[in-house]
Structure 1
Amino acid sequence: MNLPEPTGPNARSDVLIVGVDIGGTKTHLRAIPIGGGAARDLVLPSAEWRRRDWGADAAALLELVARLTGGASVAALAVGAHGCDDAEECRAFQSALAARTDVPLTVVNDAELMPLALGLSGQIGVVAGTGSIAVCRSASGEMLVAGGWGWIVGDEGSAASLVREAVRAVARHFDEGGDRGEPLVEAIFEALSVPSVPRLGSALSRQGSAAAVGRHAVAVFDAADQGSALALQVIREGGRGLARLVALLDRRGAGATHAVAGGSVIVSQPRLWQAFTEGLAELAPGRLTPHLFTGKPVEGACRLAASLNYSRQSGAGAVPLRASSRTKEGHP
């Protein structure tokens, strides 16, 4: 595995807390001296190390942490992981990590990092990137999740879902007797290289993965800028779909008063953010304040690691990052 060099001053002699944001596209690790000092960062594609096997991923992640920390003692490790979409999966990855190190650690879903980064513990995090999901912890600590089903089934407001819904809108447009003059029609035909009207569906399915589909989402927003009524409706429904995920968690007892949304699509596309806030105002009027998160989710992981360290200060304290003698455990 070819790893980039960490950036920032060498903090080898310091005791560190480490936060990790494992996204669907990239992984960001950050180590911060607990006594103060500059952070060190390591960023690399998630596909370079992640295998979707709890044990293999735990071993590989700890290797990355060791590279970042350079042998310094680690007081706490906090991980936000894309794909840990319920409490059982978070526990499975945490157990796999704990089987390989004695460092105090915790694992949460990556959507939970954004509210934490803003100091909003216990609030709802909403990711709208390649995929989408809404996550929070109730007052009792229960992990509540809505969405995250994948682009074929759901992932409302995500890049891949917006393209899927745009294709459906274009298909309905033709069924209703429409022609090629609508801007979204031309945008989708060009983006997906659709050879003819009957091949619209197969052109979408040929894309394969969510990432491959999602990279064409910009075509939907471009069509909206050109005045496409179809594209504007797709975006409105996508934003409302994200708001609905938040409203579902609210109805299920989340007890939150803030919803923090982030991810590549909603951050870069003001139309989607506006649709989300309007949908939230309609579906949960006066109950939740929306926030657009434009920072780095790893900041939330570092806050979580600092909190974990604080709560365990009366214990053994920091330990070197080394393998423990416990048996490996955890499977996807």
Structure 2
Amino acid sequence: MDQNLLAGVDIGGTKTRIMGRRGSSLLFDKTLVTDEWRIRQMEVDAAKLAAIVAELCGGSSPAAMAVGAHGCDTDEQCRRFQALLSAHLKTSVQVVNDAELMVPAAGYDDGIGVVAGTGSIAVARTADGKMLAAGGWGWILGDEGSAAALVREAAKAIRRTLDRGQEGDPLIAMLMREIGTDDQTKLGILLNETRGAAAWGRYANAVFDAANAGSPLASRVIKEGGEGLAALVQLLIERGANASLVVAGGGVIAEQPMLMDAFVEAMASLSPASRVILLREPPVIGAVALAARLVADEAQSRGRA
């Protein structure tokens, strides 16, 4: 074991980023396509991830590792994945939901983390450490404000508009062009044949491009996406989450200012006292920070023993 090496992992719905640091030195920073190694069988995934980390560490194990995992949406799921990884690496491991990386990545200890990327979720902890989560139900049921959900809602808005015999909104042509058709009747068929959140999410740029081109439909879809994210945060506040700080991150909200603006506006209405910030750093930095905190807590415990 390398006593000075800390590892952090950010497992997103699309990409996995793994970072290792020794003090102020960056030892490795690797990004993988999540589907290349993760098959959603926890035992298999733990073994694969541990092997990848061990290889990056030169065959050794880090002093501690923290993982933010998309899809680990309960304390039980986090603890199970954590135990499996710890057993493989023979080191201290902490597993949290990937949204929980937002707050430490921004340099804070407590707050609500919001991810809007391939999927969406809001996560926080109560004062006694219990995990609170809202959202994360997948693009079919929810994932408000995510790339896939924005496309889903845009397609529904187009359907309603065409059913009224209205065809002039820029969103219609832009989304159809993105999907690869000029036949309005094919919109639903082609989307139905495009399986998976990541595949749908690739069309999300059309929604923002249409809004920039003056589309009322696209602007409304983005506004409602921001409101949906804020509603997730409100649910956590009602369940006891600390409302003072909200940190948002993820590929869509970080890259599309219109969605962040819509989220901030909705939060100002729902929780005016909350400070809402956009994460400028990669979330994996939050995982490394949690690993450092894990080492510090263990050292403090040994000092009290």
TM-score by length of 2: 0.93
* Alpha-carbon contact 1:239-1:276 (below 8 Å) kept: yes
Q: Does residue 225 of structure 1 match 2:212?
A: yes
Amino acid of the structure 2 residue aligned with 1:305: A
The number of residues matched between the two structures is 303
1:301 partner letter: A
Whole-Å Cα distance in 1 between the matches of residues 101 and 289 of structure 2?
9
1:309 alignment partner in structure 2: 295
- Aligned match of 1:294: 280
Q: 1:73 to 1:165 in 2, by over 3 A?
A: closer
Rg: which structure is higher? 1
One-letter amino acid matched to 1:40: F
User: Which structure has greater helix proportion?
Assistant: 2
Partner of 1:29: 18
Amino acid at match of 2:12: G
Q: Is the 8 A contact 1:41 1:68 kept in 2?
A: no
Deviations 1:94-135 (A, max 9, x none): 122233233111100111111111222221111111111111
What amino acid sits opposite 2:55 in the alignment?
A: R
**Which ranges of structure 1 fall in alignment gaps of 5 or more residues?**
1-11, 318-332
User: Post-superposition, which runs of at least 4 consecutive aligned residues in structure 1 deviate over 6 A?
Assistant: none
Instruction: Output one character per residue of 1:118-175: Cα deviation in whole Å (capped at 9) or x when no partner.
Output: 2222211111111111111111111011111111111111111011101111111122
The separation in 2 between residues aligned to 1:197 and 1:100, in whole angstroms, is 52
- Residue 15 of structure 1 aligns to a residue in which SS? strand
Partner of 1:16: 5
Instruction: Name which of structure 1's ranges 88-97 and 155-164 shifts more when overlaid on structure 2.
Output: 88-97
Give 1:245 shift. 0.8
Verify: 1:156 aligned to 2:144, yes or no: yes
Shift of 1:197: 3.2
Question: What residue identity is the alignment partner of 1:212?
Answer: A
Matches within 5 A, 1:89-168: 89-168=77-156
Matched residues in 2 for 1:71 and 1:315: separation?
A: 28
Distance 1:144 1:185 in 2: 38
Note closer, same or farther for the CA distance 1:186–1:195 as it changes in structure 2 (3 Å cut). Answer: closer
For structure 2, list consecutive stretches of 5 or more residues without a partner in the other structure. Answer: none
Distance change (3 Å), C-alpha of 1:142 and 1:314:
closer
1:307 Cα deviation from its structure 2 partner: 0.5
Q: Which residue of 2 aligns with 1:242?
A: 229
TM-score if structure 1 supplies the norm length? 0.86
Per-residue deviation, residues 261-301 of structure 1 (Å, max 9, x unmatched): 11111111111110000000111122x11111121111100
The match for 1:285 is 272
**CA gap 1:93/1:171 in 2 versus in 1, 3 angstroms:** same
Counterpart of 2:255 in structure 1: which amino acid? S
Counterpart contact for 1:15–1:72, Cα < 8 Å: no
How far apart are residue 45 of structure 1 and its match?
1.7
1:123–1:136 Cα contact (<8 Å) kept:
yes
Matched residue of 2:166: which SS?
Answer: coil
Does the Cα contact within 8 Å between 2:63 and 2:91 map onto a contact in 1? yes
Amino acid at match of 2:73: D
CA contact (8 A) 2:3 2:63 kept: no
Which range moved further: 304-313 or 95-104?
95-104
Q: Is the 8 A contact 2:150 2:204 kept in 1?
A: yes
Amino acid corresponding to residue 236 of structure 1 in structure 2: K
Partners in 2 of 1:236 and 1:63 — Cα distance?
43
Q: Is the 8 Å Cα contact of residues 16 and 34 (structure 2) preserved in structure 1?
A: yes
CA distance in 2, matches of 1:66, 1:73: 6
Match for residue 263 of structure 1?
250
Q: For 2:214 and 2:238, how far apart are their aligned partners in 1?
A: 36
Is the Cα contact below 8 Å between 2:139 and 2:149 reproduced in 1?
Answer: yes
CA offset digits 1:47-72 (Å, max 9, x no partner): 22212111111111111111111144
- Does the 8 A contact of 2:2 with 2:63 survive in 1? no
Moved more, 190-199 or 45-54: 190-199
